[in-house]
């Protein structure tokens, strides 16, 4: 199959609609990462997404809809706090999990009785979702376990020959996946950290929990248990206060002839002495936005990426630390 990359216009939108209606998959931009979308009502199309990615079949997908879509056709009950959060943050990088009405294919939620719904803010995503007019089940548009794609070229390098069309909406500005928030209980619970932070949610509705997977427990967000977001080279991970050990490891690797790079934020880069640096930038937003870009850049030039976790760990950095830890898990 030939994979085409087109900018988003009337022609490419028409083509994307035909592909989706025929049960195919289309990659599209969002403000977080690129998604790989299929008609959420079409079981074969949804199952095909799992096959294309090599995704474990117990890791459910998020359904994407445009801003005017009536989600009461998809989910049972939207609690008051969720209505407030929708007003505050949507469209945007926040995915909300509700009790499902069971109207979309069962393959979307992998048999769970809940449904994750996301209304992306990206203009190109909105155009695509409006043009197609259907709820679109979409994971990130990468091969399973690889770093999520933040450019059309990243999608192409993972999925060339496997999908017919990539809608090119430029670089995703957010850079890490949406916050996944469980809205089925009394208070909201963050299942996956992202750009809409636990602190931001608590500010609107008073309370917000953070789900922590305990050993042996069945994950509430099944994606949590997998190795993820990993570059195709060796990785090592150090805490901020272990940065001198990271530099020692770097020097040893270089002396052994291993092409090593240190991945860290600008603050850390200024504190250490190493030539090969993948610099994530200064502000929290920059660091999130550059994370996957630099991991993908790194895997092209490095045999070993030595990542140093930023000092700050709350707010947006909670999502960054979570992704970095999983990317460098052995």
Question: Per rule CB under 6 A, is residue 20 in the interface with ligand TXA?
Answer: no
DSSP code, position 161:
T
SS3 state at 68? coil
Nearer to ligand TXA, 11 or 103 (CB): 103
List the interface residues with ligand TXA, window 71-110 (CB under 6 A). 95, 97, 109
List the interface residues with Mg ion, window 121-150 (CB under 5 A). 140
Question: Per rule CB under 6 A, is residue 126 in the interface with ligand TXA?
Answer: no
The contact mask relative to ligand TXA for 105-124 (x = CB under 6 A, - = no) is ----x--x-xxx-x-x----
CB of 90 to ligand TXA, least distance (A): 13
Q: Which does 116 bind (CB under 5 to 8 A by kind): Mg ion, ligand TXA, none?
A: ligand TXA
Question: How far apart (Å, rounded) are the C-alpha atoms in residues 178 and 153?
Answer: 21
When computed from its CA atoms, the radius of gyration of the chain, rounded to whole angstroms, is: 20
Nearer to ligand TXA, 109 or 249 (CB): 109
Residue closest to 284 by CA, chosen among 319, 260, 236: 319
Question: Per rule CB under 6 A, is residue 30 in the interface with ligand TXA?
Answer: yes
List the interface residues with ligand TXA, window 144-183 (CB under 6 A). 177-178, 180
Question: How far apart (Å, rounded) are the C-alpha atoms in residues 181 and 135?
Answer: 19
In terms of C-beta density within 10 A (0-12 exposed, 13-18 middle, 19 or more buried), how is residue 252 classed?
exposed
Q: Which does 147 bind (CB under 5 to 8 A by kind): ligand TXA, Mg ion, none?
A: none
Q: Which does 29 bind (CB under 5 to 8 A by kind): Mg ion, ligand TXA, none?
A: none
Question: How far apart (Å, rounded) are the C-alpha atoms in residues 104 and 237?
Answer: 40
Question: How far apart (Å, rounded) are the C-alpha atoms in residues 321 and 229?
Answer: 12
Q: Are 277 and 269 in contact (CB under 8 A)?
A: yes
Q: Are 12 and 26 in contact (CB under 8 A)?
A: no
Residues in the chain: 330
* Sole binder of ligand TXA in the list 222, 242, 281, 315 (CB under 6 A): 222
Binding site for ligand TXA (CB under 6 A): 30, 32-33, 35, 59-62, 95, 97, 109, 112, 114-116, 118, 120, 138-140, 177-178, 180, 191-192, 220-223
């Amino acid at each position: 199959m030939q994979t085409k990359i087109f900018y988003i216009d009337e022609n490419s939108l028409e083509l994307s609609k035909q592909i989706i209606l025929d049960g195919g998959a289309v990659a599209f931009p969002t403000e977080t990462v690129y998604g790989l979308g299929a008609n959420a009502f079409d079981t074969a199309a949804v199952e095909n997404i799992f096959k294309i990615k090599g995704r474990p079949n117990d890791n459910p997908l998020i359904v994407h809809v445009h801003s005017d879509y009536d989600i009461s056709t998809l989910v049972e009950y939207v609690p008051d706090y969720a209505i407030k959060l929708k007003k505050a943050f949507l469209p945007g990088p926040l995915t909300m999990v509700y009790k499902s009405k069971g109207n979309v294919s069962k393959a979307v939620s992998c048999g769970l009785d809940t449904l994750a719904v996301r209304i992306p803010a990206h203009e190109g995503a909105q155009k695509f979702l409006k043009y197609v007019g259907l709820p679109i089940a979409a994971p990130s548009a990468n091969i399973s376990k690889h770093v999520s794609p933040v450019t059309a070229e990243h999608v192409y390098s993972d999925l060339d020959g496997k999908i017919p069309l990539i809608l090119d909406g430029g670089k995703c500005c957010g850079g890490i996946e949406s916050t996944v928030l469980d809205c089925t209980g009394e208070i909201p619970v963050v299942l996956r950290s992202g750009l809409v932070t636990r602190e931001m949610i608590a500010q609107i509705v008073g309370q917000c929990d953070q789900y922590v997977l305990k050993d042996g427990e069945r994950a509430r967000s099944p994606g949590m248990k997998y190795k993820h977001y990993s570059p195709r080279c060796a990785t090592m991970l150090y805490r901020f206060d272990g940065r001198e050990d990271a530099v020692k490891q770097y020097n040893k690797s270089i002396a052994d002839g291993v092409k090593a790079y240190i991945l860290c934020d600008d603050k850390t880069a200024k504190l250490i002495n190493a030539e090969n640096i993948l610099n994530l930038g200064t502000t929290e937003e920059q660091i999130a936005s550059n994370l996957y870009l630099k991991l993908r850049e790194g895997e092209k030039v490095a045999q070993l990426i030595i990542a140093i976790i930023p000092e700050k760990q709350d707010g947006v950095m909670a999502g960054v630390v979570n992704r970095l830890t999983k990317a460098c898990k052995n």
